[in-house]
Amino acid sequence: MLKKTRYALVGSGHRGTTMWGRDLVERWAGEVELVAICDLNTMRAERSSRYMGVSVPIYRDFDRLLAVEKPDLVIVCTKDSTHDGVIVKAMEAGANVISEKPMTTTADKIKRILDAERRTGKRLDVSFNYRFAPTAAKIKELLNSGVIGSVTSVDFHWYLNTSHGADYFRRWHAFTENSGSLFVHKATHHFDLLNWYLGSDPQTVSAFADLKHYGHKGPLRGERCRTCRHKHECDYYFDIGKDRLLESLYEDPSSVDGYVRDACVFREDIDIPDTMVANIHYKNGVDVAYSLNTYMPIEGHHIAFNGQKGRIEMRQYEAQPWTEPPADEILLMRNFDGVERIWVPHFSGGHYGGDDRLRNMLLKPGLNDELQQRAGSRAGAMSVLCGIAALKSSRTGVPVAISDVWGDDQGLHLLDSTP
Ligand SMILES: NC(=O)c1ccc[n+]([C@@H]2O[C@H](COP(=O)([O-])OP(=O)(O)OC[C@H]3O[C@@H](n4cnc5c(N)ncnc54)[C@H](O)[C@@H]3O)[C@@H](O)[C@H]2O)c1
């Protein structure tokens, strides 16, 4: 029998408690064993462990956890801007790491992580679950097959609806300091998909972005939904009491750290854009037109690869005001030769079925990774750098090279020798 990997969960919010908590305890028990939970808010960690049905030590002090529990693996599910601190300490203590996306939020933090990985020889995986969606795998196979010739441009548009999109504006994500903006927090998924699909690195980004709907642009505001006098008239009123897990993880524990799960989406001080477009030029010559909108009646994306010999196109939804067939359709068009309609069945599990496949790849030893879906620190870094460049371009009004974001001091060579 293989020895189980002893892991510690750091960050016991919704993502940690579900994706990397209860699911692993219940469905990956043959591979991993949860040995401790760490959270700055120990009341939330206690609620989390109760939900998981486990009885493991809870720590506020991560250094102590590392010294006492000596985990083989640390899974990082904290606020984005804190990932680097946890990752570096974990690797220095001899643990491998799985980090939730985005890997981190600034170029300096990326450098700290790459440096720690190099010094310690430990491995960092980044949870890019969308790569593992069966539709993404099919598109990657088609691109690899050369059926549309070399790709010259990509159209990629991502839509967040009034529920999921709004959720980012209720919490810490609404501030650049915490999330790097949605160009980093959310688009890290999309930029990573592009980098992986194209097998290349972004070189220059030119972007526009603005806050047009949430924050100070909203028609009315309060502090939080639960106490708001506008709850009967606001379209964005959100009752966390209707979700027992959210209520348990966030409501009472907010008395410890002031982190409320239903803060007003129209708070005056929100400083991230909600409407973003970017053009990205890749090293291999491909040009991408990208957009991200956050208050749509649909949740999903449209993507098309335009090649010298044809086009691959897909429209895929996670929520939409119509009934979708029980499969996603990929259109493969060869120039001068009609269309082939490829149907990929829907898979259960989050992120179009990507979450389960990702966890199998990271936790079950020896799985074949033909499509190179497993993503390490280099992929984590590249997608974050692309987001930082996009935000910078939108703020300065000029195109931004990735090498400028990275800084001239070290060039990009650090990244070049990172797996
Ligand atoms: N891959 C995906 O598709 C996906 C989906 C959802 C969330 N996520 C990621 O998961 C992470 C967590 O998301 P969430 O919604 O659960 O966030 P959350 O804010 O609700 O939970 C984070 C928890 O981390 C704790 N924390 C913060 N800093 C800490 C530190 N330095 N040490 C210990 N604990 C700390 C907080 O107290 C909180 O309990 C984020 O990075 C997010 O981007 C990824």
Against a cut of 0.85, is the pTM above it?
yes
Q: What is the pLDDT of residue 416?
A: 62
17 CA: nearest ligand 1 atom: 16
- Which residue's alpha carbon is at the smallest distance from atom 7 of ligand 1? 15
Least trusted range by pLDDT, from 206-215, 286-295, 364-373, 410-419: 410-419
Confirm if 80 and 105 have CB atoms less than 8 A apart: yes
| Residue 364 alpha carbon to ligand 1 centre in Å | 24
Q: Is 201 exposed, middle or buried (0-12, 13-18, 19+ CB in 10 A)?
A: middle
Q: Which amino acid is at 113?
A: I
Assign 414 a pLDDT band (cuts: 50, 70, 90).
low
Is pLDDT above 70 for 379?
yes
Q: How many whole angstroms from 78 Cα to the centroid of ligand 1?
A: 3
Q: At what angle do helices 187-198 and 134-145 cross, to 10 degrees?
A: 30
Place of tokens 């389960």: 356
Cα(29)–Cα(35) distance, rounded to whole angstroms? 12
- The rounded Å distance from CA 419 to ligand 1 centre is 25
> What pLDDT, on a 0 to 100 scale, did the predictor assign at position 412?
54
Query: Do you find a cis peptide bond into 273, omega within 30 degrees of 0?
Result: no
Q: Report how far residue 263's alpha carbon sits from residue 217's, in angstroms, rounded to the nearest whole number.
A: 16
pLDDT (tens digit, 9 = 90+) per residue, 53-68? 999 999 999 999 999 9
d(CA 24, CA 389): 35
DSSP string, 197-208: HHTS-EEEEEEE
> Residue 350's pLDDT is what?
77
Q: What average pLDDT score do residues 153-177 get? A: 98
Residue 60, CA distances (Å) to 52, 64, 84, 171, 260 in order: 18, 9, 17, 22, 19
CA–CA separation, 293 vs 285, rounded Å?
26
pLDDT of 409: 52
Provide the b/e sequence for 307-326 (b: ≥16 CB within 10 Å).
Answer: beebbbbbbbbbbbeeeeee
Mean pLDDT of 351-378: 94
CB of 319 within 8 A of CB of 161? yes
Q: What is the mean pLDDT of residues 159-170?
A: 98
- Which atom number of ligand 1 is nearest to the Cα of residue 261? 20
Ligand 1 centre distance from Cα of residue 213 (Å) = 25
Pocket of ligand 1 (CB under 6 A): 10-16, 38-41, 44, 62, 77-80, 82, 100-101, 127, 129, 185, 351
In this structure, which residue's CA is closest to atom 18 in ligand 1? 13
Q: Which of 46-50, 227-231, 393-397, 414-418 has the lowest mean pLDDT?
A: 414-418
Closest ligand 1 atom to residue 38 Cα is 33
Structural contact between residues 74 and 8, judged by C-beta atoms closer than 8 angstroms: yes
From 22, 38, 77, mutation site for ligand 1 pocket: most ligand atoms within 8 A of C-beta = 77
* Local confidence band at 352 (pLDDT 50, 70, 90 cut-offs): confident
- Are 278 and 205 within 8 A, CB to CB? yes
Q: Judge residue 199's burial from the number of C-beta atoms within 10 Å of its C-beta, 0-12 exposed, 13-18 middle, 19 or more buried.
A: middle
The protein residue whose alpha carbon is closest to atom 33 in ligand 1 is 39
Work out which ligand 1 atom sits closest to the CA atom of 44. Answer: 39
Report CA(88)–ligand 1 centroid distance (Å). Answer: 17
Q: Which helix (H) or strand (E) holds 293?
A: strand 287-296
- Ligand 1 test: best mutation among 43, 46, 78, most atoms within 8 Å of CB? 78
- Average pLDDT value for the chain: 96
Which stretches within 364-408 are classed as H helix? 377-396, 402-406
Q: Percentage of the chain with pLDDT > 70? A: 97
Residue 106 has pLDDT above 60, yes or no: yes
pLDDT > 80? residue 349: no
**Partners of 125 in beta bridges:** 98
According to CATH, the topology of domain 130-214+271-346+375-416 is: Dihydrodipicolinate Reductase; domain 2 (3.30.360)
CA-closest residue to ligand 1 atom 5: 15
Pocket test for ligand 1, best of 22, 38, 40 (most atoms within 8 A of CB): 40
What gap in Å lies between CA 66 and CA 87, rounded to an integer? 12
CB 103 within 8 A of CB 380: yes
Q: Domain coordinates of the chain in residue numbers?
A: 130-214+271-346+375-416, 215-257
Write the DSSP assignment of 184-252 as a string of letters: HHTHHHHHHHHHHHHTS-EEEEEEEEE--SSGGGSS---SBGGG-TTTTT-TT---GGGSHHHIIIIIT
pLDDT at residue 419, as a whole number: 47
For residues 41 and 256, the answer to whether their CB atoms sit within 8 Å is yes
- CA distances (Å), 109 to each of 37, 102, 215, in order? 24, 12, 28
| 8 Å CB contact between 299 and 320 | yes
Q: Which contiguous run of DSSP H or E holds residue 176?
A: helix 176-179
CA contacts within 13 A on the Cβ side of 221: 18
**CA-CA distance, 272 to 269, in Å (whole number)?**
9
Task: Classify residue 265 by burial, with Cβ atoms within 10 Å: 0-12, 13-18, 19+.
Answer: buried
With tokens 């960690």, the residue in question is 45
**Protein residue whose Cα sits closest to atom 6 of ligand 1:** 15
- What are the pLDDT digits (tens) for 24-53? 999 999 999 999 999 999 999 999 999 999
Nearest CA to ligand 1 atom 17: 13
What distance in angstroms lies between residue 254's CA and the mean position of ligand 1's atoms? Answer: 15
pLDDT of residue 410: 55
The answer, yes or no, to whether residue 313 has pLDDT greater than 90, is yes
- Amino acid identity, position 310: G
At 188-211, the pLDDT tens digits run: 999 999 999 999 999 999 999 999
